[in-house]
Protein backbone atom coordinates (compact mmCIF):
# COMPACT_ATOMS: atom_id res chain seq x y z
CA UNK A 1 0.00 0.00 0.00
CA UNK A 2 1.31 3.47 -0.86
CA UNK A 3 2.30 5.86 1.93
CA UNK A 4 -0.50 8.33 1.22
CA UNK A 5 -3.14 5.61 1.16
CA UNK A 6 -1.97 4.06 4.42
CA UNK A 7 -1.84 7.49 6.06
CA UNK A 8 -5.35 8.25 4.81
CA UNK A 9 -6.52 4.97 6.32
CA UNK A 10 -4.95 5.92 9.65
CA UNK A 11 -6.57 9.34 9.53
CA UNK A 12 -10.01 7.92 8.78
CA UNK A 13 -9.67 5.34 11.55
CA UNK A 14 -8.36 7.66 14.28
CA UNK A 15 -9.25 11.30 13.63
CA UNK A 16 -12.67 11.23 15.29
CA UNK A 17 -11.34 9.64 18.49
CA UNK A 18 -8.33 11.93 18.53
CA UNK A 19 -10.56 14.97 18.12
CA UNK A 20 -12.71 13.87 21.06
CA UNK A 21 -9.57 13.33 23.13
CA UNK A 22 -8.19 16.76 22.24
CA UNK A 23 -11.50 18.40 23.10
CA UNK A 24 -11.59 16.58 26.44
CA UNK A 25 -8.07 17.83 27.22
CA UNK A 26 -8.60 21.45 26.17
CA UNK A 27 -12.30 22.15 26.54
CA UNK A 28 -12.02 24.37 23.48
CA UNK A 29 -13.07 23.17 20.04
CA UNK A 30 -10.82 25.53 18.08
CA UNK A 31 -7.78 24.67 20.15
CA UNK A 32 -8.59 20.97 19.88
CA UNK A 33 -8.80 21.25 16.10
CA UNK A 34 -5.44 23.04 15.99
CA UNK A 35 -3.81 20.37 18.13
CA UNK A 36 -5.18 17.50 16.06
CA UNK A 37 -4.04 19.17 12.87
CA UNK A 38 -0.55 19.61 14.29
CA UNK A 39 -0.44 15.97 15.40
CA UNK A 40 -1.30 14.72 11.91
CA UNK A 41 1.23 17.07 10.33
CA UNK A 42 3.92 15.63 12.57
CA UNK A 43 2.73 12.10 11.87
CA UNK A 44 2.88 12.68 8.11
CA UNK A 45 6.40 14.10 8.38
CA UNK A 46 7.51 10.89 10.12
CA UNK A 47 5.19 8.50 8.32
CA UNK A 48 7.83 6.30 6.70
CA UNK A 49 9.12 5.39 10.16
CA UNK A 50 5.89 5.77 12.11
CA UNK A 51 3.90 3.38 9.92
CA UNK A 52 6.09 0.54 11.21
CA UNK A 53 4.94 1.10 14.82
CA UNK A 54 2.56 -1.36 16.42
CA UNK A 55 0.60 1.37 18.21
CA UNK A 56 0.48 4.41 15.94
CA UNK A 57 -2.65 5.75 17.61
CA UNK A 58 -0.88 5.66 20.97
CA UNK A 59 1.90 7.76 19.42
CA UNK A 60 -0.71 10.23 18.14
CA UNK A 61 -2.28 10.51 21.61
CA UNK A 62 1.13 10.95 23.23
CA UNK A 63 2.11 13.76 20.84
CA UNK A 64 -1.29 15.40 21.31
CA UNK A 65 -0.89 15.28 25.09
CA UNK A 66 2.58 16.83 24.88
CA UNK A 67 1.32 19.61 22.59
CA UNK A 68 -1.58 20.33 24.96
CA UNK A 69 0.80 20.52 27.93
CA UNK A 70 3.05 22.90 25.98
CA UNK A 71 0.07 25.15 25.26
CA UNK A 72 -1.00 25.09 28.91
CA UNK A 73 2.53 26.12 29.94
CA UNK A 74 2.60 28.96 27.41
CA UNK A 75 -0.81 30.15 28.60
CA UNK A 76 0.27 29.95 32.25
CA UNK A 77 3.42 31.95 31.45
CA UNK A 78 1.39 34.49 29.49
CA UNK A 79 -1.05 34.89 32.39
CA UNK A 80 1.85 35.31 34.82
CA UNK A 81 3.39 37.98 32.60
CA UNK A 82 0.02 39.66 32.25
CA UNK A 83 -0.30 39.66 36.03
CA UNK A 84 3.07 41.41 36.35
CA UNK A 85 2.59 43.96 33.59
CA UNK A 86 -1.17 44.38 33.46
CA UNK A 87 -3.27 44.22 30.33
CA UNK A 88 -1.93 45.81 27.17
CA UNK A 89 -2.90 49.41 26.63
CA UNK A 90 -5.78 50.19 24.33
CA UNK A 91 -4.72 50.51 20.73
CA UNK A 92 -6.99 52.73 18.70
CA UNK A 93 -8.16 51.48 15.32
CA UNK A 94 -6.06 52.54 12.35
CA UNK A 95 -6.87 55.90 10.82
CA UNK A 96 -7.93 56.51 7.26
CA UNK A 97 -4.36 57.20 6.15
CA UNK A 98 -3.14 53.94 7.64
CA UNK A 99 -5.92 51.97 6.00
CA UNK A 100 -5.20 53.63 2.66
CA UNK A 101 -1.50 52.80 2.97
CA UNK A 102 -2.21 49.15 3.79
CA UNK A 103 -4.59 48.97 0.82
CA UNK A 104 -1.92 50.44 -1.47
CA UNK A 105 0.80 48.12 -0.10
CA UNK A 106 -1.37 45.09 -0.78
CA UNK A 107 -1.42 46.03 -4.46
CA UNK A 108 2.38 45.72 -4.66
CA UNK A 109 4.20 42.50 -5.52
CA UNK A 110 5.32 40.72 -2.32
CA UNK A 111 9.08 41.39 -2.80
CA UNK A 112 8.49 45.14 -3.13
CA UNK A 113 6.12 45.15 -0.16
CA UNK A 114 8.62 43.24 1.97
CA UNK A 115 11.52 45.51 1.02
CA UNK A 116 9.50 48.64 1.80
CA UNK A 117 8.34 47.24 5.15
CA UNK A 118 11.87 46.22 6.17
CA UNK A 119 13.30 49.55 5.08
CA UNK A 120 10.69 51.87 6.58
CA UNK A 121 9.33 49.92 9.54
CA UNK A 122 12.61 48.42 10.75
CA UNK A 123 14.96 51.09 9.36
CA UNK A 124 17.07 48.40 7.70
CA UNK A 125 19.62 49.58 5.15
CA UNK A 126 19.64 48.09 1.67
CA UNK A 127 22.54 45.77 2.51
CA UNK A 128 20.71 44.19 5.46
CA UNK A 129 17.54 43.75 3.41
CA UNK A 130 19.62 42.04 0.73
CA UNK A 131 21.16 39.75 3.32
CA UNK A 132 17.80 38.89 4.87
CA UNK A 133 16.03 38.27 1.57
CA UNK A 134 18.96 36.64 -0.23
CA UNK A 135 18.66 39.12 -3.07
CA UNK A 136 21.47 41.24 -4.57
CA UNK A 137 21.63 44.83 -3.33
CA UNK A 138 20.77 46.10 -6.81
CA UNK A 139 17.57 44.07 -6.76
CA UNK A 140 16.63 45.46 -3.35
CA UNK A 141 17.24 49.00 -4.62
CA UNK A 142 15.01 48.22 -7.58
CA UNK A 143 12.26 46.85 -5.32
CA UNK A 144 12.40 49.96 -3.16
CA UNK A 145 12.38 52.32 -6.13
CA UNK A 146 9.59 50.55 -7.98
CA UNK A 147 7.58 50.09 -4.78
CA UNK A 148 7.80 53.78 -3.90
CA UNK A 149 6.83 54.75 -7.45
CA UNK A 150 3.86 52.38 -7.45
CA UNK A 151 2.73 53.67 -4.06
CA UNK A 152 2.95 57.25 -5.27
CA UNK A 153 0.80 56.45 -8.28
CA UNK A 154 -1.72 54.38 -6.30
CA UNK A 155 -1.99 56.86 -3.45
CA UNK A 156 -2.11 59.78 -5.89
CA UNK A 157 -4.97 58.17 -7.80
CA UNK A 158 -6.80 57.53 -4.55
CA UNK A 159 -6.36 61.14 -3.41
CA UNK A 160 -7.59 62.41 -6.78
CA UNK A 161 -10.65 60.18 -6.56
CA UNK A 162 -11.43 61.55 -3.09
CA UNK A 163 -11.11 65.13 -4.33
CA UNK A 164 -13.72 64.46 -7.04
CA UNK A 165 -16.30 63.25 -4.51
Total-model pTM: 0.53
107, 150 contact by CB (below 8 A)? yes
Decide if 117 contacts 102 (C-beta within 8 A).
no
Same-domain pairing of 150 and 79: no
Decide if 91 is inside a domain.
no
Look at residues 39, 62, 85 and tell me which one is the last residue of a structural domain: 85
128 and 60 within one domain: no
13-67 pLDDT, tens digit per residue, is: 999 999 999 999 988 999 999 999 999 999 999 999 999 999 999 999 999 999 9
Neighbours of 151 (CB within 10 A): 18
Residue 116: inside a domain? yes
Instruction: Report the CATH number that the domain containing residue 114 is assigned in CATH.
Output: 1.10.10.10
Burial letters for 94-123: b for 16+ Cβ neighbours within 10 Å, e otherwise?
eeeeeebbeebbeebeebbbbbbebbeeee
How many domains is the chain built from? 2
Domain of residue 14, residue span: 3-85
| Whether residue 113 is found in the same domain as residue 78 | no
90 belongs to a structural domain: no
CATH of the domain at 60: 1.10.1740.10
What digits encode the pLDDT tens for the residues 58-85? 999 999 999 999 998 988 888 888 888 8
Q: What is the pLDDT of residue 164?
A: 46
Amino acid sequence: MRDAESFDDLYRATSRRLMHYAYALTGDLGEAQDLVQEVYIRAWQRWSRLRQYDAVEAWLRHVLSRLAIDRWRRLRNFRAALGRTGPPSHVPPPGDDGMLLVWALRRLPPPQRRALALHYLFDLPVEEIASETGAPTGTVKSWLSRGRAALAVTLGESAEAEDVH
